[in-house]
């Protein structure tokens, strides 16, 4: 469990996207585990059975090998790389320790991971426009030079002169700065690639095993810290957090906490999607700042001035 460490986030995001691209995500595995449990298969037999299926992902096979060697399913899953497997390991271990029914737990975790996949797909769609704008604008200097060459004006001798080299260096620096600035703005929407409300669902698991709310909070915090679950943060368990507000509300009205926790977790995911869409809409406007401040001057220096000088030279001025 991390309090807020940005280092390594981009690497984890690349790893997560790679696993999904290879069909090795945990969501399908969790859903299949829940189905086999509903069908009466013993917990220790689930993962080995999944590993024997055609097209089973390599990570499931490695987990199954650790189970067959005598490890518990939760420990075997927890040794797999990736935040999705860490989450599954924490949920599985909490269900085993508290005696909560495992099948509903796995179905809920599968739903959580599928929600993250939908959020990632939606993010990719929302960011497609700003990224295309960055690529198009950054290519304008080369397009201008190519168009001038087709029209019979060769700006390359101008660019290779002493003044042209100065323009090239200055314009290239401006172009690189503008593209890097705009790309950093788009990456800012990906830095928090996590499922909202997971701490609520993990506490729901412990409550399903009969533990009181105060004990449930502590047990979940210890478990996610021990397994280093990246998607659940220390702040999620502190006073004033969403979890704390839900527990206080349930105690005040005397309502069952389980449905409240699951309802609030779903609401947190809906808010996360809304926030993402609003942030993407703002990004479509904010990305014009680095393009106007850096890329447009770079286009003038690299694409317009050399062509203009070549045109004037060819006209005898």
Tens of pLDDT, residue by residue over 67-107, are 888 888 888 888 888 888 888 999 999 998 888 889 999 99
Least confident piece of the model among 86-100, 178-192, 211-225, 240-254: 178-192
Residue 130 has pLDDT above 70, yes or no: yes
Using CA atoms, how far residue 90 sits from 190, 202, 271, in Å, is: 24, 8, 24
Q: Who contacts 260 (Cβ-Cβ below 8 Å, separation ≥6)? A: 246, 249, 250
Task: Name the helix (H) or strand (E) containing 300.
Answer: none
Give me the pLDDT at residue 191, please: 61
Residue 2, beta-bridge partner list:
233
Which residue did the predictor score with more confidence, 171 or 148? 171
Q: Mean pLDDT throughout 180-195? A: 74
Residue 208 has pLDDT above 50, yes or no: yes
Q: Who contacts 294 (Cβ-Cβ below 8 Å, separation ≥6)? A: 174, 175, 177, 178, 181
Give the span between the Cα atoms of 212 and 301, in whole angstroms.
68
- The overall pTM is greater than 0.85: no
* pLDDT band for position 146 (cuts 50, 70, 90): confident
Residue 81 is classified by DSSP as: S
Reading the block at residue 198, the tokens are: 């997971």
Q: Who contacts 236 (Cβ-Cβ below 8 Å, separation ≥6)? A: 199, 242, 243
Instruction: Give the highest mean pLDDT range of 11-20, 56-65, 137-146.
Output: 56-65
Give me the pLDDT at residue 20, please: 45
Residue pair 164/306 in contact by the 8 Å Cβ criterion: yes
Sign of CA dihedral 102, 107, 109, 113: positive
Task: Name the helix (H) or strand (E) containing 42.
Answer: none
Give me the pLDDT at residue 254, please: 79
Give the span between the Cα atoms of 234 and 251, in whole angstroms.
23
Q: What percent of the chain has pLDDT over 70?
A: 87
DSSP string of 188-221, one letter each residue: GGGTT-S-TTHHHHHHHHHHHTT--HHHHHHHHH
Backbone angles phi, psi at 152, to 5 degrees: 100, 5
Give the span between the Cα atoms of 230 and 232, in whole angstroms.
6
Instruction: Give the highest mean pLDDT range of 81-95, 116-130, 152-166, 263-277.
Output: 81-95
Reading the block at residue 25, the tokens are: 């995500």
Give me the pLDDT at residue 230, please: 83
Residue 233, beta-bridge partner list:
2
Q: Mean pLDDT throughout 165-193? A: 80
Give me the pLDDT at residue 5, please: 43
């Amino acid at each position: 469990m991390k309090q807020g460490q940005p280092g390594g986030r981009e690497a984890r995001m690349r790893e997560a996207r790679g696993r999904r691209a290879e069909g090795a995500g945990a969501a399908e595995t969790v859903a299949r585990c829940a189905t086999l449990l509903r069908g009466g298969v013993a917990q220790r037999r689930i993962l080995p059975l999944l590993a024997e299926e055609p097209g089973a992902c390599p990570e499931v096979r490695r987990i199954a090998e650790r189970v067959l060697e005598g490890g518990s399913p939760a420990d075997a899953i927890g040794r797999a790389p990736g935040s999705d497997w860490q989450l599954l390991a924490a949920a599985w271990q909490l269900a085993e320790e508290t005696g909560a029914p495992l099948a509903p737990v796995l179905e809920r975790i599968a739903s959580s991971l599928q929600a993250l996949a939908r959020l990632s797909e939606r993010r990719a769609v929302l960011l497609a426009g700003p990224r295309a704008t960055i690529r198009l604008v950054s290519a304008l200097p080369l397009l201008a030079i190519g168009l001038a060459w087709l029209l019979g004006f060769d700006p390359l001798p101008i660019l290779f002169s002493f003044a042209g080299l100065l323009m090239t260096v200055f314009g290239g620096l401006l172009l690189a700065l503008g593209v890097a600035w705009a790309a950093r703005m788009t990456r800012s929407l990906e830095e928090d690639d996590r499922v909202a409300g997971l701490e609520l669902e993990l506490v729901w698991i412990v409550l399903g095993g009969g533990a009181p709310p105060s004990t449930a909070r502590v047990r979940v915090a210890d478990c996610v810290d021990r397994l280093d679950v990246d998607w659940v943060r220390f702040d999620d368990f502190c006073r004033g957090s969403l979890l704390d507000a839900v527990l206080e509300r349930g105690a005040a009205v005397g309502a069952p906490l389980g449905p409240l926790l699951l309802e609030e977790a779903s609401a947190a995911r809906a808010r996360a999607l809304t926030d993402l869409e609003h942030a993407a809409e703002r990004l479509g406007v904010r990305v014009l700042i680095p393009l106007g401040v850096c890329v447009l001057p770079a286009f003038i220096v690299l694409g317009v001035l050399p062509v203009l000088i070549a045109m004037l030279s060819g006209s005898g001025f």
